[in-house]
Structures are given as C-alpha cells and as structure tokens.
Structure 1
Amino acid sequence: MKNGSETMETEEDLLTLLHIKLYHPQQSCKGLYSLLPLGTRSRHSADDPLRLGRDAQACTYCLADPRVSRKQLALSAYRTPQSPEILFSVQNLSQRGRLSVNGSSLGHLEKMDLPDKALIRFGEYEVLIVREPGEAKASFEVDLEVLPVSPSRETCTSEPGRAPVMDTAWLGKKGPQETDETLICYS
C-alpha cells in the first residue's frame, strides 16, 4: 500500500501549461475580458473540462459579451497510451455558432484534438492556444492574456475568405514599390 505522499503530485512536477491568448477587433472599447483572470496562472484538474462562454455558473472562464453563447466551447485534457503528456481536445458547445480550429469547422458538440499550437475562431473572436508540455498528470496550468493584434496576422493561419495580408517591401531589383501591392500568406 502506498502512502499519500507517494501518490500525490509534488510541487516539483512540471505542469503542462496552456497559454490562451484572446483577440477581438473591438476589445479596446468594450470590457469583454473584465471577468477573466488575465496575467495570472491558474491550476486546473485534468479531470474537469475548461468551459468558455458567457454563463458564469456553467463556465470556467467568462466573456462579458452577449453575442457569445452561454457555453461556447470546452477544452478537455486527455492522455494516450503512446504518450505520457497531457493533450487537449476542443468541443463546440454552441448550438447557433460555428467554431473553427486552424480553418477546420466544428458543428454543435463536434470535437477535435488540438495540436500544440491552434487558432480557434468563433464570432469575431480569435483564440490562440499554445501548449507547453509538462510531466504532471493530474493537473495543468492556464495563463490567459489579451493580444493587441489578431493572431491570424502573426501566424499566417487562414481560412477561405479571411486570408491575412502582409506587405511586400522588396519586389525584385527595382527596390521598394510605391503602390500598396500585397502578398497573401497561406499556411
């Protein structure tokens, strides 16, 4: 029989960290993120899914936006026999709104495994999730922050009709162009 100290996670265990970075085009003029614990890491049990939405009683993280579903999405931790790491999946909980992960659309209650870096879109929101692996198996940490610019512009992850554009400063031997020529970035 093991005693409690042998089975419990120690403080030395490195926790998996989910960086959740949010962006909305009108975030500067609205208090969309006023209910979120921005800039502080919080520890969560791997047994319980993280829910994001506007309902403070049903969701782990709440957005102060009436256009967001009561329960918008859930992030669930899991492990596979092939890997000791905590991995994550995302599920669309919204009956009305579509959710996309790196350009792939999810309907109501559809689920998808998340890669180590994923761009999730719903409504006008863009959520960049970056996973840093750890050793601990019973819990993980979440760090929430607001991005000043759209993550799709930074990562060049695009969906049809929403391709980010980057300026071309040097085109051939003629030097910089004076026109506003642009180059579409595809992933």
Structure 2
Amino acid sequence: MDATQNVETEELMTCLQIQLYHPLQASRAPYRLLPLDTRRKHPAEDPVRLGRDAQACTFALADPRVSRKQLALQAYRTASSSDMLFSVQNLSQKGRVTVNGSALEYLERAQLPEKALIRFGEYEMLILHDNGDAKGSFEVEFGVLTVSPSREMGVGTPNTTPVMESGSDNFNNSIPPLRSPGPMEMDETVMYQSCSVFLS
C-alpha cells in the first residue's frame, strides 16, 4: 500500500491579507511590532485585535495616536455558506472606524466584504481574504502599501481626528497633530490673522 494514501490531505487555510498605509510612514516605525510579509496562523474562534497595546491586542501599532484597543476582526460562518466570513468591530471609545466609507461607533460591528477599506485616524487598511476550507483556523498576513488605497478605490479622505483612548485632546501639546493629505483652505486663516492685527 502506498504510504501517501494514509496521509491526511492538508487543509487550505483562509488568509486575511491586511495592507496598511499612512501618509507619514516613510520610516515604517509604526509597523515595527507587526510581522510584516509573514503569514501567522490564528484560531478561528479568537478575534484578531489591533491597537497600540501589545499586551491587550494580537497585533500592535507603535503609535501613541492609535487607541489602546482600536478594532477587532472576528471570523464567523453562516448556515448558507461554507466560506469563512469576517466582521470588524470598533473597540475605540474615542475614535471612529470606517468600513468602505460607513462609520462605526464604539462596539458597533459590520460584515467585511471580500475587499474592504478600513480607516481610523489617518491609517488606511486594505483587507482582502482568500477563502480556504480549514474550519478551525485562518492566516493573517500584514503588508505595507506605498500608495493610499482610498485613492484607488475612489473613497473620500477621512475627516476624523485620531484621539487616544486613555487621554484627552491635550495630548496634542506634546505630539504634533497629523495633517490631512487633502487640500487646505488658507483664505480664512489669512483673513482672520489680518483682522486680528487691525483689532489689536
């Protein structure tokens, strides 16, 4: 008897490909805690948590502007499909998470399509998943994009300001605020400054 007949067929695992982008990422410093370009096996019953707290989250971003626990990705199945599906939940009490332009408030959850653009603060995450037949686990693979995925997908620029969960707006005194890559209207600022000179 051929020995290969006794070997179980290896199951193909679903893979979540998470591509990150930030307008100020040239140094890649925020990603130093992530296992970039490496597939990590993850149990299907456990959510994948992403935030700045490496103890509380599965994967961490080294950025004080990110919430301690930012979001969670949860695998699930339905009776009508054998595919592993995923949802995203906003875990940040201070900041919004958007999925393909739709905002999620604290603890709100949304189903992820096969191609999803998630944004929080100035971070953009393009998530794709390749379906497999394994039921007990899936793989996660992080990468870094050099071009904003929102431009390619035609989704508008975010208008939310990232706020740390454990602090107040005063933390911006020690950390300079991130600027939006979109155009700025300078006329009102110039007009305000010129008026204040005449009034003083």
Paired residue total: 155
Where do 1:10-89 residues align within 5 Å?
12-29=10-27, 31-89=29-87
SS at match of 1:32: helix
State how far apart, in whole Å, the 2-side matches of 1:130 and 1:92 are.
18
* Aligned counterparts of 1:69 and 1:42: Cα–Cα separation in 2: 23
- Checking the alignment, whether the CA contact within 8 Å between 1:102 and 1:158 is kept in structure 2 is no
Q: 2:100 aligns with which of 102, 107, 119?
A: 102
Name the CA distance, whole Å, in 1 between partners of 2:113 and 2:74. 13
Q: Offset of 1:12 from its aligned partner?
A: 1.4
SS of residue paired to 1:141: strand
Q: Which runs of 4+ in 1 moved over 4 A?
A: 159-162
Give the Cα–Cα distance (whole angstroms) in 1 for the partners of residues 119 and 88 of structure 2: 12
Say whether the 8 Å CA contact 2:15–2:139 is kept in structure 1: yes
Q: TM-score, normalised by structure 2?
A: 0.73
Partner Cα separation in structure 2 for residue 137 and residue 30 of structure 1? 34
Shift of 1:156: 2.0
Alpha-carbon distance between aligned partners in 1 of 2:73 and 2:148, rounded to the nearest angstrom = 21
Indicate yes or no: 2:130 matched with 1:139: no
TM-score when normalising by structure 1: 0.78
Shift of 1:154: 1.9
* Pick aligned residue for 1:111 from 109, 112, 127: 109
In angstroms, what is the RMSD of aligned CA positions?
A: 2.0
Please list, as runs of the form range in 1=range in 2, the aligned pairs for 1:147-166 lying within 5 A after superposition: 147-158=145-156
Larger radius of gyration: 2
Shift of 1:79: 0.2
Gap regions ≥5 residues in structure 2:
1-7, 161-180, 183-200
In the alignment, is the contact (CA less than 8 A) between 1:49 and 1:77 conserved in 2? Answer: yes
Shift of the 56–161 alpha-carbon distance from structure 1 to 2, 3 Å rule, reads: closer
Identity of aligned residues (%): 63
Q: Which has the higher helix share?
A: 2
Unaligned runs of 5+ in 1: 1-9, 166-187
Matched residues in 2 for 1:151 and 1:82: separation? Answer: 31
